Amino acid sequence: MADANGAAQAAQTPTMKIRSQYVKDLSFENIAAQKQVANATQPEIKVGVNLDAKKRTDTDFEVVMSIEVRANAGEEPIFLMEMDYAGLFFIENVPQEQLHPFLMIECPRMLFPFVRRIVGRDP
């Protein structure tokens, strides 16, 4: 009987798989170059992150990380980068009361290394 119970528990184990991930929208505005301004001042960089999740089917969800990076030197803008990076996730056996935190924490945690690689700069 323990084997049947163990199989039932294994069938109820939460499952998550990344079906795909992609850049949904990307915009980069190089304001300093457009104005032909050279600034030797260390820029102030501000990063903003927003999350959104949408149900596609009973087991498929799209999670979108919206990233905004602004750089200013004093009052002068240097650049603005905005990106929406999305992942399509297969999720099953997650209790309904835990689904929202799962979508807003675990799914973005899986996407973040790829977002960082696109937005960041390797030394």
Structure tokens at 106: 């675990």
* For residue 67, pLDDT beyond 90: yes
How are strands ordered across the β-sheet holding 60-73?
15-30, 76-92, 60-73, 44-55
* For residue 58, pLDDT beyond 70: yes
| Sequential DSSP letters for 5-60 | HHHHHHHTS-EEEEEEEEEEEEEEEEHHHHTT----SPPEEEEEEEEEEEE-SSSE
- Please write the tens of the pLDDT for every residue from 77-107: 889 999 999 999 999 999 999 999 999 999 9
Q: What single-letter DSSP state applies at residue 121? A: -
pLDDT in the model for residue 39: 63
- Please write the tens of the pLDDT for every residue from 8-37: 555 689 899 999 999 999 999 988 777 766
CATH code for the structural domain at 13-119: 3.10.420.10
Q: How far apart are CA 50 and CA 68, in angstroms?
A: 9
Model confidence band, residue 118 (pLDDT cutoffs 50, 70, 90): confident
Model confidence band, residue 122 (pLDDT cutoffs 50, 70, 90): low
pLDDT in the model for residue 8: 54
Domain boundaries, the chain: 13-119
Distances (CA, A) of 114 to 45, 50, 118, 119, 120: 20, 16, 6, 9, 10
- DSSP, collapsed to helix, strand or coil, labels residue 107 as helix
pTM above 0.85, yes or no: no
